[in-house]
Amino acid sequence: MVKMQKEDDLFFVEVKEPNEIRRGILESLKDIVENLQRFEKFKEIRKEKMHNIEILRTDLKDLNKQITNLKSAFPDTKLREIKTKLKPTIDKKKTKKRKHKPKEVIQEKPKTELDRLESELGAIEEKLKGLQ
């Protein structure tokens, strides 16, 4: 049961900087309201998405029905698709030559833009030395 408080039981507490506390409470309430607004927008978007999914499902069902109707409208034939399998011919002499070739040295490309620019600068400097 709820008891009635007497006026003698009441006491007050001093709050230092009440304006700062009030400002902090109001700012937190503002953040809460903004979050609730975003959540409401999220719920609306979710609802719209579900509606679009339902429309898509009905469209797909309709398309599947039309495809079956189209297939049934075609005449029945006993012709089948002819599949040809062509095997590539391998020249044994060429494969042997490939095996005996020495491995070519693969020059790696500079990994960064700075490395590439440095290599270009080096090439330009070599050309300048050749001209002198």
The whole model's pTM is what? 0.42
Report the distance separating Cα 71 and Cα 65, nearest Å.
10
Segments making up each domain of the chain, as ranges = 16-72
Reported as a pLDDT band with limits 50, 70 and 90, residue 7 is low
Read off the pLDDT of residues 42-86 as tens digits, 9 standing for 90 and up.
999 999 999 999 999 999 999 999 999 998 888 877 777 667 776
Token look-up 């070739």 returns 101
Report the distance separating Cα 54 and Cα 58, nearest Å.
6
Read off the pLDDT of residues 86-113 as tens digits, 9 standing for 90 and up.
666 665 555 555 555 555 656 665 466 6
Average pLDDT over residues 117-127: 78
